[in-house]
Structure 1
C-alpha cells in the first residue's frame, strides 16, 4: 500500500523530539495509533511497526521520548529511564505531547485512537490510559506494569491489553499480579496474555544484541502477540 510518511519535530521535556508519521495515501481520516518505542529509544524496529500499521489502513505516529529521534547512548539510558519511571506526571506529559502531534495530523480520526508500546513504551501506553485520556485501546507488549500513580476507579476509558512473557525476569509474576489487581480495583475492561517460554523484548528481532540472558526474541510469541493485538483493535474500534 502506498503511504504518506513524514518526520515531525516537536518539543517535550525540554528536548526536541523527532517522531515518524505514516498513513495510507489517498486522503480521508483514518483510525490512528500512537506507537511508543522501547527504553533504548526510537529505532527502525519501532518505525517498522508504525509502517506495518499504516499498511493495514491506520494512521500511525512513532513518538520519541528521549529526543533526537534516535536511540539513547547506553551510558545515559539507565539514569534517563529511572528519572521517567520515578515521575509519572512527567512521563505522562511526554506521552501526551506525542499524542497531541498525532491528533493534529489531517489524516487522523481523533475519535478513534489507540496507543501501543514496547517495554518502557508499553509502560507509557498504560500511563496514558491511567490518565483517563479518551483512547479506544492501550496495549503494552513486554511492558513494565508498575506505576507511581495507579488508576483511579472508573478513570480509565481505554480497553487494556497486556502481553507478557512467562519467563520475563523484568516483568515477573508478582508484577503481573499487582497489575491485574490494579485493573480490577479500577474496574477496567482488561485482558492479559502470558506467553510460555518468552522472555523480555520477545517482539524485537534484535533483542539478543543486549547480551542479557533474560532478554530474547521469540518468533512464536511475537506472532501470537501481534494477532492478539489485531483482535483487540477489531474489538475496540
Structure 2
C-alpha cells in the first residue's frame, strides 16, 4: 500500500511517500512501514524505528514520517507479527516478554528489518541507524551490544538492563540514551550499571536526562494510558521536542 503525504517546512517542500511492507522472519509474517521524501534525489541513510511494548502503532509510524521529513529513509519494523497490537498492559507484557525472553528471536527480527532496509534501493549502501521507544529502546541497545553494523542507536525511555553486557570492542554503534529523571521503570541502580557496562566495554555513548519526565515521555497518548491503566507514564512536550532535536543533530553528524 502506497500513500503520499505533502508537508512543508523551512523553505522547501517535502513529498513524503509512505508504504507498508510485508516481510518475514522464521516463518512469521511481519508488516513494516517505510517513509521517504520523494522530492529528494539519490540514496540517503536509513533509520530503523522500534516500537513501544504495545506493538507497531501510530506512534512508531509518525516517527518514521518525521525522519523522512528530516531527509532520512525511515522504517518502522514489526517485532510481534502482522496485526499483533496490544490493547491492555497485560497483553503488551505478554507480547514483549515473549520476544525479549528469546534473544535469538529478538535479534533475528531486528536483523530481518535491518537487511530489508540495507538492501532497499533508497538507501543504496548508505549507513544505517536505529532508534527505539520503551521496549524498542531495549531492543536497539541489545542490537548494539550484539555488534550490529550500525552508525548509531538511540534509546528513548528504554530499559537499560541486560543479561548480555557489551564486551570490549564489540559495539560498533555510537549510543545515545534519552531518559526521564522521574521514570520509576529505570531506577538509579540500573543507570549506574549501564554506565559501568559502557565504560568497561569502551563504548562511545551519550546519556541525557530530562528533569520532570517519566516513562513514555515522547508518546502524546501516554497521559490517557496513565489514566486508563494507572501506569507511571506521561507525555512531556519539552522532553519530546528536545530529545528529537538532539537525535536529528546526532544523525546529521554521525550518519
Question: Under TM normalisation by the shorter chain, which class is it?
Answer: over 0.9
Matches within 5 A, 1:65-214: 65-69=79-83, 71-74=85-88, 75-211=90-226, 212-214=230-232
Runs of 4+ more than 4 Å apart = none
Q: Is the Cα contact below 8 Å between 2:55 and 2:80 reproduced in 1? A: yes
Q: Please give the alpha-carbon distance, in whole angstroms, between the structure 2 residues aligned to 1:225 and 1:80.
A: 27
Q: Please give the alpha-carbon distance, in whole angstroms, between the structure 1 residues aligned to 2:231 and 2:54.
A: 17
Which deviations, in whole Å up to 9, do the C-alpha atoms of 1:80-137 show, x marking residues without a partner? Answer: 2222222223211111111111112110143311100100011111111111111110
Which deviations, in whole Å up to 9, do the C-alpha atoms of 1:117-175 show, x marking residues without a partner? Answer: 10001111111111111111000000111122111111101000000000001112111
Does 2:67 correspond to 1:53? Answer: yes
User: TM-score scaled to structure 1, two decimals?
Assistant: 0.95
Partner SS for 1:65: coil
Q: Is the Cα contact below 8 Å between 2:53 and 2:93 reproduced in 1? A: no
Instruction: Return the offset for 1:232.
Output: 1.4
* 1:230 match: 248
Aligned residues: 237
Note the residue ranges of structure 2 that are not aligned, 5 or more in a row: 1-13
The Cα RMSD (Å) is 1.5
Q: Please give the alpha-carbon distance, in whole angstroms, between the structure 1 residues aligned to 2:191 and 2:26.
A: 29
Choose 202-211 or 66-75, whichever is displaced more: 66-75
Which deviations, in whole Å up to 9, do the C-alpha atoms of 1:47-88 show, x marking residues without a partner? Answer: 111001101110110101111155224353222222222222
Note the residue ranges of structure 1 that are not aligned, 5 or more in a row: none
Q: Is the Cα contact below 8 Å between 1:43 and 1:70 reproduced in 2? A: no
Q: Is the Cα contact below 8 Å between 1:66 and 1:72 reproduced in 2? A: no
Q: Please give the alpha-carbon distance, in whole angstroms, between the structure 2 residues aligned to 1:184 and 1:62.
A: 30
* 1:18 match: 31
Q: Is the Cα contact below 8 Å between 2:79 and 2:99 reproduced in 1? A: no
Larger radius of gyration: 2
